[in-house]
Amino acid sequence: MEWQDEGLILSVRRHGERDVILEAMTRSHGRHLGLVRGGRSARQAPGLQPGNRVALTWRARLEEHLGQFTAEPLQSRAGLVLSDPLALHAVMHLASLLRLMPERQVHGGLYEAADGLCQLLAEPLLLGAVMVRFEVNILAELGFGLDLSCCAATGRGDALTHVSPKSGRAVSAGAAEPYRDRLLPLPAFLLGEGLEEADSQGIDAGFRLAGHFLERHLFIPRGLDPTATRQPFLAILRDRLAIASKISKI
């Protein structure tokens, strides 16, 4: 069996003296693993780094086998990822989110979103907002999507400001007022407004919102540590946003 596809490298694990096992999120074949012969060589190793976009060819005798990859670089982000802690932890967190998806299950939209996110590794404000959206997309792809179309109490689609932590449905400002301390703030950029409108406060609210449902529906039921990759990424991101806010006031 053989196929060609485009993929985003998520991880590379040593296998023997010269080979590696490559994990990639592909456009048309989902999250897929394969053996790369000579992947630790000086010729191949620089292109086989997390965050890089590559052209992949996969071959195996049977579909259920691990198979072998050959990979040709399309876009390298290794220099940024290896030199910037924020970029590194962003790619690590992105990979951990994609591993929530079943292996070899096609999710073309997630691939496009993940590759688009990697285009923003050097832009903390946009990166934060897009990562929140990506976490919300992961929830939706796994059947736990938030309903932000209209108010759960009134049915109206305007002035949505909060989300119920129980139902995952949006609540309008008026309906939310008596229960504000029990509801999760809903940042405007999750309602389709431009990412350029996102600020550090809204991004933080977005991560609290997405984190609540990730823990409830995915991390805790699967026995996963929600802090493993997410918290280091958020800690660095918040520091960068705080620095950027101070600079903007000078």
Residue 195 has pLDDT above 90, yes or no: no
Measure the CA–CA gap between 95 and 11, rounded to whole angstroms: 8
Rounded Cα–Cα distance for residues 36 and 45 (Å): 10
Q: Nearest CA to 131 among 246, 4, 240, 6?
A: 240
Residue pLDDT, tens place only, 22-65: 999 999 999 999 999 999 999 999 999 999 999 999 999 998 89
pLDDT value of position 82: 93
Which residues fall within 8 angstroms of residue 88, CB to CB, at 6 or more apart? 81, 82
d(CA 18, CA 32): 20
**Percent of residues, the chain, with pLDDT higher than 70:** 98
All domains in the chain, ordered by first residue: 2-77 (2.40.50.140), 82-249 (1.20.1440.120)
